[in-house]
Structure 1
Amino acid sequence: MFWQIINFFILVFVFNKYFKKPLGKMLDSRKKKITSDLSQAEDTKKAAIELQKESEEILRKAKIEANEILKTAEKKADERREAILDEAKTQREKIIKTAEMEAIKMKSDAKEMLQEEVKVLAVKLAETLIKEKINSKIESTLIDEFIDEVGEEK
Structure 2
Amino acid sequence: MNLTAQTMPAISIDINMFWQIINFLILIFIFNKHLKKPLNKILKKRKDIISNDLEEAKKNKEEAIIEREEAEKELKEARRQADEMIFIAEKKADQRKEEILRGATSQRDKILKSAEIEVGKMKARAKGEIREEMQALAVKLAEKIIKEKLDSKHSNNLINNFINELGEE
**What is the TM-score of this pair, normalised by structure 2?**
0.64
Distance 2:95 2:63 in 1: 47
Residue in 1 aligned with 2:33? Answer: 17
Residue in 1 aligned with 2:99? Answer: 83
Equivalent residue in structure 2 for 1:51, among 67, 72, 97: 67
Aligned-residue offset at 1:72: 2.4
- For residues 4-153 of structure 1, what are the structure 2 equivalents within 5 Å? 4-124=20-140
**What is the TM-score of this pair, normalised by structure 1?**
0.69
Task: Go from structure 1 to structure 2 and tell me whether the alpha carbon gap of 1:115 and 1:12 turns closer, same or farther (over 3 Å shift).
Answer: same
Aligned-residue offset at 1:27: 1.7
Gaps of 5+ in 2: 1-16, 156-169
Which structure has more relative contact order (CA 8 Å, sep 6+)? It is: 2
What is the number of equivalent residue pairs in this alignment?
Answer: 141
Distance 2:103 2:152 in 1: 72
Deviations 1:28-79 (A, max 9, x none): 1111111111111111212222222222223222222222222222222222
RMSD, aligned CA: 3.1
